Structure 1
């Protein structure tokens, strides 16, 4: 017989073998420690079993108290406090669970694994929580995190709050705010929300909604599900809507003509002040929205536009400006690079900004810098094989592509691509044409480049690169030559905008649908301002064009194009006049608030002009 000390050591070893599902795990088996196969054999055979668990539907399971106590504090307490060592080892314990759930928990206790699936997770999580199987709770939470959809996220969030699953609650809360529009319009769970939940969500500054009409319609959809009991709650919910971001026509059509507002004098009084405000804005010549009224509080943007570098006041600059689309304001950033540059390329990849090549007035760069907005840190990355200014840059399948450009001696047809995980550049096949001052975009897994300058003439040619075949193919030419052009992909089309045709700066725009059988460029509505060497980006379902040179001077002008309306509209100008700059959009930054109006106004102090730069 073993000594008491050896028995204590053995017991301690068994109790120490616990299976923790780490928060960093992503797969079903992440963080799971497989227990010795002998444990499962003992469970299946019943050998050495010293207790019996009886399920609510009559199933009975022979178990080993020491093993069950090692994975469940609940059973450890039950077995140590209610079963005296002198009592019969066949003592039976009732468990208020059906046999199929109890069997899953026991499988986890003996093997370290358990089956979590859509058909059992909503029963398994509370069962595991009730009987203190913490690792099973974690596995259920990981499963629900992976399975979040607009259709189920509200129920999952409510579930997480009830069972105090903090990670699941935080992730679910963010998912709901980010996907608010789809959830409010499509989810059947929307109409099941409690008024307190709804009020908390709609009041949140981080709600991802570009159009406040979506918020108003979400409220009325919820009320429509039970008008008799919910209509009296409308005043508290409609106070959550930021009416200042309506235009007068949509406010009149959507809010003032809403049946609930038309039938309620109280609601009419509630929207009276916004009505006066929007009427005054519509009849004034104000270029910026007054953000002082409480119903004009901007929300935190989910997407932020970054404009980097460029040529300003006769020299290159290292300034960064960010645009908050919720407040429609530009802010100068304090996180400038140490190296001024213009005529560079730039792209966003995994919420990092890569600045490629460029020119500082004296030197043509082959250097690459990477900016992380989440940490405000700049890092040097591997240099390109060739110096390139007037370079076209884009990102595809996790790689950064640098196409053509000018090395200080000649225009280039050569191309290379960057592998971030290896910090290495690789040369790829050259284009058919030498081209600098061109522009490239990605659509349908292929790279398109158009226009540019070859050293002697402005180009109208365009070509396409297939990264699978590693071949360039000439495609339909632009309707006119363009250097200093901007090309961007939006929905299923390519847009080629502005530029210089060798004589004048252009405001014309043409588009191409590559998926057509015989694609050809055709002109659409021109921009308001002629410009070349400007930046462009897609922000909240609109094409933004930023800065540039109009033939006489660099400009700060910004405008946007909505393909549904087919019109360009002016936007708030940048703080600086500049051309030869680049722009990109980052989404879902963990510190989006830092780039928002609310943050800037807080930094400046209450009462300061909200359109002043923060640096």
Structure 2
């Protein structure tokens, strides 16, 4: 016979194993060939040794080693209830088991003891599906008792992500000091620094006699650089716990001296233990996101809309609307709060009213607009810039509709406005940026609508201006933004993009825009420039409104499209605001 011609058919009976289990279970129930009884409480469960040995390393060691149980017909299983043991034996013979909140814990303990690993992890998955901010800390405790890493990791992740809810639970107050320190120093903790402080205070007050001495260790975990100065100096500094600690008060005073020095680079030599605290990074969960607000929408009316870009879905979400329509207001971000300053209030038909000195604020945490301390004088078509804990408002038009060279400064530490030295030249629509303790005002136009070819520089700590004539500067209605030591001026009735090096006082040309652009907005996200909306000049010298979102990468000197806004927009604000969570209330 030709062996090569023989055909081989490999058959696998996929139902054999399950059918065999069913037959073995039937034999067990009828006590056929059963050779051992597992005893718990007052019950006895007949089994086959070979089935138990095949299903668990625990029983393999018991019956295949020189233990006394090898020859016994009745084995007492301690520490496991009869119902749990019966459920596990049914699972061994059938592969089926019912898990409830009432029996999951004794089942996990039994599965762990008897070394049924898959059943143990199934119980863990059952508990993971029922995790909540209210029970996740208890689940962590339970996972440590059961040595269940999968449950512990999932519960710990929820505790970090839902810290706002977890921090108000009674379970948090039961944490040990090392456990609480572990949470507060973790970069992935989803909380702002004010909440971190409030959490440690609540923990101490739960048992003040035993815990008061931990205040300095806990306070070092608060990243003071990212706390609003008003909250820091009016609330935290006056807290009795902080005042009771010499180290805490020294840290607060060091921050105060740093703020007054108007020096953002490093703390003073006298700052006690401040430097490692001050340079601590923002928590990873505090990511910056693009927010667009106000402006002229579809060239029809002044917009009250505020939008936030959702990175995950690549879509725009609506925030709460501005309280009123404002024409040519200014927009700035300070301490993760959006400020809308001044502007010309208008009606739905764009009928102008008197210029405003009002200031409105929006926090992503509350998604509610509030009024803040008003400016000293009304402004519209002005420029605003933030630096450390200050907001500077420069020029624009006042109540008399004349071009102004005035400068006002808002001190968020004391919630006060004050008049500063005026600009040497009054200009409209310049490009403005702050870098290296200075404010740079590039170009713009004068009262006769002629381009101003100069750079005006304001030294913040000295309250002094000086100006530099520069023929390279010729921009109107162009925004500016800072990356590293360079100020990027984008467009301004031109396609040109320039980078000004503050160290060398030199301009370099960057990749051009696609069209001549003006009245657009720019902000910095992840070391890149994001340009939104504006107006552009077509090839036929017509002016059109834009809804584009474009990104410039200085590392590659290139532009890429990032989609579009929900509508065409110009004269708006664009900021990078810090989000602790992407869950926002819809307006």
Alignment TM-score, normalising by the size of structure 2: 0.49
Alignment TM-score, normalising by the size of structure 1: 0.47
More strand by share: 2
Higher radius of gyration, 1 or 2: 2
